[in-house]
Amino acid sequence: MKSTLRCLSRLIMCMLAVASSMAVSQVCKAQTQVPADSGTGTQAQILERMQQLENELSALRGQVAALKAGDSGTPGLKTAVYIVPAEQEAAVATSTPAAAPAEAPKTTIASLLGPTSFSGFVDTYYGFNFNHPKDQQNGLRFFDQDTNQFGLNMVELIVDKAPDATAGEAGRTGYHVSLGYGQAINAINGSEPTAGLSFDQYLKEAYFSYLAPIGKGLQIDIGKFVTPAGAEVIETKDNWNYSRSLLFYYAIPYYHFGARAAYKFNDKWSVTGYLVNGWNNVVDNNSGKTYGGTVAWTPNKKWSIAENYLAGPEGDALAPNPNSNWRQLSDTVVTYTPNAKLSLMVNGDFGRGDRVYTATESGIVAGPVVDWWGSAAYAKYAWNDKNNFAIRYEYYGDPYGFTVYSGTGFPSGHVQEFTATLTHMVASSLMTRFEYRDDFANYPIFEKGNPGTHPFVKDQYTLTLGMVYMFDSRNAK
Structurally, the chain folds into a number of domains equal to 2
Does residue 22 lie within any of the structural domains?
A: yes
In sequence order, the 6+-apart residues with CB closer than 8 A to the CB of 255 are 188, 204, 205, 224, 225, 226, 227, 280
Average pLDDT, rounded, for the chain: 83
Q: Is residue 36 very low, low, confident or very high in pLDDT (cuts 50, 70, 90)?
A: very low
Q: For 247-264, what is the mean pLDDT?
A: 97
Higher pLDDT, 234 or 82: 234
Residue 299 reports pLDDT greater than 60: yes
Q: Is residue 92 very low, low, confident or very high in pLDDT (cuts 50, 70, 90)?
A: very low
Are residues 72 and 166 both part of a single domain? no
β partners of residue 312: 327
- What pLDDT is stored for residue 65 in this prediction? 62
Distance, in Å, from the CA atom of 254 to the CA atom of 261, rounded to the nearest integer, reads 19
Are residues 29 and 132 both part of a single domain? no
Are residues 312 and 459 both part of a single domain? yes
Does residue 323 lie within any of the structural domains?
A: yes
pLDDT in tens, 148-180: 999 999 999 999 999 998 888 889 999 999 999
Residue 33 reports pLDDT greater than 80: no
- What pLDDT is stored for residue 471 in this prediction? 95
- What pLDDT is stored for residue 407 in this prediction? 47
Are residues 292 and 218 both part of a single domain? yes
* φ and ψ at residue 261, rounded to 5 degrees: -135, 125
Range from 7-16, 99-108, 333-342, 364-373 that averages highest in pLDDT: 333-342
Residue 203 reports pLDDT greater than 50: yes
- At position 188, the amino acid (one-letter code) is I
Q: Is residue 77 very low, low, confident or very high in pLDDT (cuts 50, 70, 90)?
A: very low
Q: For 119-138, what is the mean pLDDT?
A: 95
Are residues 85 and 120 both part of a single domain? no
- What pLDDT is stored for residue 256 in this prediction? 96
Listed residue (179, 184, 107) closest to 141, CA to CA: 184
Does residue 254 lie within any of the structural domains?
A: yes
pLDDT in tens, 329-343: 999 999 999 999 999
The CATH number of residue 423's host domain is 2.40.160.10
Does residue 29 lie within any of the structural domains?
A: yes
- What pLDDT is stored for residue 325 in this prediction? 85
- What pLDDT is stored for residue 17 in this prediction? 52
pLDDT in tens, 212-223: 999 999 999 999
Are residues 66 and 138 both part of a single domain? no
Q: Give the three-state DSSP class for 209.
A: strand
- What pLDDT is stored for residue 96 in this prediction? 52
Are residues 260 and 321 both part of a single domain? yes
33-37, 229-233, 254-258, 321-325: range with lowest mean pLDDT = 33-37
- What pLDDT is stored for residue 445 in this prediction? 87
- Find the helix packing angle between 86-94 and 40-70, rounded to 10°: 70
Residue 120 reports pLDDT greater than 60: yes
Q: For 18-45, what is the mean pLDDT?
A: 51
SS3 of 243-274: the string is: CCCHHHHHHCCCEEEEEEEEEECCCCEEEEEE
Does residue 106 lie within any of the structural domains?
A: no
Are residues 80 and 122 both part of a single domain? no
Are residues 147 and 86 both part of a single domain? no
In sequence order, the 6+-apart residues with CB closer than 8 A to the CB of 440 are 415, 416, 417, 458, 459, 460
Are residues 264 and 340 both part of a single domain? yes
pLDDT in tens, 55-70: 766 666 666 566 555 5
pLDDT in tens, 428-455: 999 999 999 999 998 888 988 876 676 7
Does residue 109 lie within any of the structural domains?
A: no
Residue 284 reports pLDDT greater than 90: no
- Tally: H helices and E strands in the chain: 7, 16
Does residue 103 lie within any of the structural domains?
A: no
The domain of 37 spans 2-94
- What pLDDT is stored for residue 60 in this prediction? 63
Residue 90 reports pLDDT greater than 90: no
Burial 210-246 (b: 16+ CB within 10 A, else e): ebeeeeeeebbbebbbbbbbbbbebbbbebbbbbbbb
Last residue of a domain, one of 31, 65, 94: 94
Q: What percent of the chain has pLDDT over 90?
A: 55
Are residues 54 and 156 both part of a single domain? no
SS3 of 125-136: the string is: EEEEECCCCCCC
Are residues 64 and 119 both part of a single domain? no
112-116, 415-419, 457-461: range with lowest mean pLDDT = 112-116
Does residue 439 lie within any of the structural domains?
A: yes
Residue 183 reports pLDDT greater than 80: yes
Listed residue (67, 59, 80, 66) closest to 3, CA to CA: 67
